[in-house]
Amino acid sequence: MEQNKGLNVVLLGKTGAGKSSTGNTILGRDAFVSKKSSRSVTRDVAVESGSAGHFPVIVHDTPGLFDTEMSDDEIQKKYKEVLQKCESGPCMFLLVMKADRFTAEERKTVEKIEQLLGDERLKKTWILFTRGDELEEENMTIQEFINETEALKNLIQKYDQRYHVFNNKAKDQAGQVQGLFTKIFKPLMMSNLGEDLETLKQNPLKRKYLKRLNQTLLLTVSHPDGLFFWVKVELGKVQLETQSWDRKSLYLYRE
């Protein structure tokens, strides 16, 4: 499988966190085997590609940490293999955790994953909480859940508030997936531009990348990781429209 046709999304976490269900939610289909078990359903790294809303993605479902039938060395070897595969294209990591008690085992899981990823990859890591449906049943927001536990609150701060919550049982799967990827990509896009729309229009070097389609401005944006965006700009607001991988457009806006 080519690794340069979309964003590599690597699902990390302990057994039973909901990684496979999350992969299915992202792709909008039953791509990965998912069931409740104390043993990891995913014994090898499973890879499936598709679209998450407008975004082409390659999802890597990894074996769970603390699996009862796999040694730590086996699991770490598989993790390192998937990290190497992702080097050929843009990549992000989702640390999947249940919206449940933040136990000592959860903390150990986070520590192990951080050791495996290293500092640079951690900058591309988001915490994704599953079982958002249980929070809804208790009339609790994800922010209220996080604030209940000081250790979890500190973890979210460490990750610069990079977190999201999924209800893998929700009817509107597409909406919550679009919400996740817009949340991830929009800061990348805006930090790369570093300008508002009016400033952009006045910049002769960048103005040529603006195209008008009826009453909508389309703006070509690329990010150093190799993400190529078409951005829809309406009523002075920048909204992410779609994304693809294009090596020729790398560093388009790096001056």
HSE-up of residue 141 (Cα within 13 Å, Cβ side): 3
DSSP letter for 248, please: G
**pLDDT for residue 247:** 35
pLDDT by 10s per residue, the chain, length 255: 344 467 789 999 988 899 999 999 999 899 898 755 444 455 678 999 988 766 678 899 988 877 656 777 887 788 888 888 777 667 889 999 999 889 998 999 999 999 989 998 898 899 999 999 899 899 999 999 999 999 999 999 999 999 999 987 777 788 888 788 777 765 554 444 444 445 555 655 554 444 444 444 444 444 444 444 444 444 444 444 444 433 333 223 222
Report the alpha-carbon distance of residue 92 to residue 124 in Å, rounded: 5
Helices (H), 87-169: 104-122, 132-137, 142-147, 150-158
And the tokens for 48? 């499936």
Q: How far apart are CA 92 and CA 126, in angstroms?
A: 8
Q: Which fold has domain 7-184?
A: Rossmann fold (3.40.50)
Where along the chain do its domains lie?
7-184, 194-249
The predicted structure's pLDDT at residue 151: 94
